[in-house]
Amino acid sequence: MMLMKNASRREYRLKDGTMVPGVTTVLGVLDKPALAKWRAEYGWQCHKDGLPSMPWPIPTDGTAGVGTIAHYKINCWLTGSQPEYDPKWLAEHIKMADVPVKRFWQYYNQRCGGDPGLSAPPIFTEYSMVHENLRYGGTPDLLLETDEGVELWDIKTSKAIYEEYYLQLAGYKMLLDQDPKWRQMKIRPRVVLVTKAGKLEAPDVSVAYMAKARAVWSRLIKFYHEYNSFRKAA
């Protein structure tokens, strides 16, 4: 599928056709200044050492598209697809994306014990799901069998790993947990950060930390729907 320059946001719908928000849309409410107290009240400021407490960064160096292209190239590599680009993408940015992509597949094959090619196909890539009870949807990047077991990867191309990334992973993991195909599978979540310069970070996080992320996500999705209901009543 061609990578469009200004693609529309992915839609998620329940079985009855009701449209629901995606995980990243829900996380957008955290950027509202009024929610700073809410974040502190539920203890999310007491985060894992090394994870800065700040909103998701917006690239300001004119290369915001490189990350999007890199993500797309990685998925094409994982699925054996041939990349196709909207002419609006800058050729310079398409070439720049090769640096993080190459670093990613080195890490992927290192973790899967393979060679420079795709040694072990993933279980799935970009698999869209909806949670009927909590009324949200999401598209996790990657589920794969590694040398340490099954892992759920969320691929990032920002400058650092931010705490909200783990809330996003918690939301994705809850989507998997309510699906009979994945419910009984022991799955380890992991953020895989690969920068435009080719630096890669994929730290282990504790079960306790992800349990905290899950608890915060559970409150956040409920708050999101309550907040939207409040706004509609105005």
How do the domains of the chain map onto residue ranges? 20-233
Per-residue model confidence (pLDDT) at position 41:
47
Could you tell me what percentage of the chain is helix, strand and coil, using 3-state DSSP and rounding each to the nearest 5?
40, 15, 45
Distance, in Å, from the CA atom of 199 to the CA atom of 119, rounded to the nearest integer, reads: 22
Residue 222 contacts by C-beta under 8 Å, 6 or more apart in sequence? 134
Domain 20-233 top-level CATH class: alpha beta
Prediction pTM value:
0.85
Per-residue model confidence (pLDDT) at position 113:
66
DSSP helix/strand/coil, 142:
strand
**Cβ–Cβ contacts within 10 Å for residue 57, how many?**
11
CB-based burial, 125-145: b 16+ in 10 Å, e otherwise: bebebbbeebbbbbbbbbbbe
Distance, in Å, from the CA atom of 229 to the CA atom of 234, rounded to the nearest integer, reads: 9
- φ and ψ of 137, to 5 deg: -130, 175
Please give the chain's pLDDT, 234 residues, in tens.
Answer: 899 888 778 899 999 999 999 999 999 887 665 455 544 444 444 333 333 333 444 444 466 689 999 999 999 999 989 999 999 999 999 999 999 999 998 999 888 865 555 567 899 999 999 999 999 999 999 999 998 899 999 999 998 999 999 999 999 999 999 988 888 889 999 999 999 999 999 999 999 999 999 999 999 999 999 988 888 886
